Amino acid sequence: MNFQSEVVHAGDRKRETGQVTPSTTPISLGTTYFYESAAKLDRVLGNEEHGFSYARYANPTNEALEDLVTKLENGSGSLATSSGMSAIQIALQAALLDRSHSIVASDAIYGASVELLDKLFASFNVRVKYVDICDLQAVGKAVADLQPGCIFMESISNPLLRVGDVRELARIAHTAGGALVVDNTFATPMLMRPLDLGADIVVHSATKYLAGHGDVLGGIVTSNANHYEQVRALARIAGPLLGPFESYLTMRGIKTLALRFERQCENATLLADWLAEHSGVERVYYCGSTAHPDAAVIRHTFAPELYGGILSFEIRDADKDAVLGFMDRLRMVVPGTSLGDVHTLLLYPQIASHRNLSPKMRARLGIRENLVRVAAGIEHIDDIKADLDQALRADRSLH
Ligand SMILES: Cc1ncc(COP(=O)(O)O)c(C=O)c1O
């Protein structure tokens, strides 16, 4: 099936003997399960037979969502987790099991992921080295020095939207015996399927594009055959599972992922072109720009004609107060901290995703004080442009 059909059908209508089969997966709330035969319960508890025994191990609604995302990411199995961050934690722990306790990480990952590595993993003696993931020589050197258990990166970096070469990075990780873990939240499996390019584990903040409507906190880990058992085993012990209601909402959201994402990409492309010509804008960052530094990688790793729904831009001559004023003037675009929703969201990295970085570190990463990030929604493009325009124009009159 094509992606547009898979999002609608995969995971649903698993037949269970003696039960009616609803066309879409219902919410299953039970925490423990009854079997007519204790021998069967024994086999299910012992993992010798498929079935459900206890909610921390597996749940029918979660399983339907997991099957759906496994199909979309072309993996061997998935785990639905309580948040994107718990997905990253489980994925990295699974990747480091039986491997060197060290990680080479992209220096352009989500702020909380940096904190997860620096505060949690480091306190368990995991060594972490940050590199520019688009500089393959630097990655090669870091991997040769550290011999890491894994490389961790985002398929599209935040907020400057750089794209590392997953194929090459998987090769480099594997030469050192390590795994490649990719946070695919920004790209979605519609734009990129990291496992097809050689990655070992993919994670999502399902809070974003997958659920898509700003009403679910959730995560997904999808892995290849080599790591799925570890992911599942860790989850059985630690129990960071998504609740069945959130699983249902996420699955319901994914049914329209293809429709939403196509429109979000189209809106982002139109916005990037328009903002590049706007007198109030200094510079635009977008994966679809012809001058994008990773254009060649984008060409051979992204789906054709799609460049993602996120762009960033620098407001001309704006300091922090001017950016905050611009945000206050927005009438439809929502100033907030997330992305991937049906409504257009605007984030100011300096006060949100990159708040905890020092000004020096932000400057080193190229994140200027006048940079904002837009996650295009599905509204009419003219309304998004009109809102940004009036907020930018009022800003112009200040200078
Ligand atoms: C790229 C990326 N990964 C992971 C996360 C964490 O996801 P969650 O907030 O669902 O825990 C975020 C949150 O913004 C994100 O942007």
- Residue 246 confidence (pLDDT) above 90: yes
Please give the model's pTM, rounded to 2 decimal places. Answer: 0.96
- Residue 15 confidence (pLDDT) above 80: no
pLDDT at 268: 98
Q: List the residue whose alpha carbon is closest to atom 10 of ligand 1.
A: 84
CA dihedral 32, 37, 42, 43 (to 10 degrees): -100
**Residue found by looking up tokens 């196509």 in the block:** 262
For 63-72, write each residue's pLDDT tens digit.
Answer: 999 999 999 9
Residue closest to 334 by CA, chosen among 395, 384, 382, 279: 384
For 325-338, write each residue's pLDDT tens digit.
Answer: 999 999 999 999 99
pLDDT at 14: 80
Catalytic residues: 56, 110, 183, 208
For 129-176, write each residue's pLDDT tens digit.
Answer: 999 999 999 999 999 999 999 999 999 999 999 999 999 999 999 999
Q: Is 205 in the pocket of ligand 1 (CB under 6 A)?
A: yes
| More confident position, 396 or 28 | 28
When mean pLDDT is compared across 202-206, 243-247, 370-374, 394-398, the lowest value belongs to 394-398
Q: Is 246 in the pocket of ligand 1 (CB under 6 A)?
A: no
pLDDT at 397: 55
Q: List the residue whose alpha carbon is closest to atom 12 of ligand 1.
A: 205
Most confident of 107-111, 139-143, 359-363: 139-143
Q: What ligand 1 atom has the least distance to the C-alpha of 218? A: 10
Q: How far is the CA of 214 from the centre of ligand 1 (A)?
A: 13
Dig out the tokens for 214 from the structure: 């700003």
- What DSSP letter does each residue of 83-150 carry, written as one string? SHHHHHHHHHHHHHTTS-SEEEEESSS-HHHHHIIIIIIGGGT-EEEEE-TT-HHHHHHHHHHH--SE
Mean pLDDT computed over every residue of the chain? 95
Ligand 1: residue of 88, 158, 208, 217 to mutate (most ligand atoms within 8 A of CB) is 208
Q: Is 102 in the pocket of ligand 1 (CB under 6 A)?
A: no
Q: List the residue whose alpha carbon is closest to atom 7 of ligand 1.
A: 84
Beta bridge partner(s), residue 64 = none
Give helix then strand counts, H and E, for the chain: 15, 12
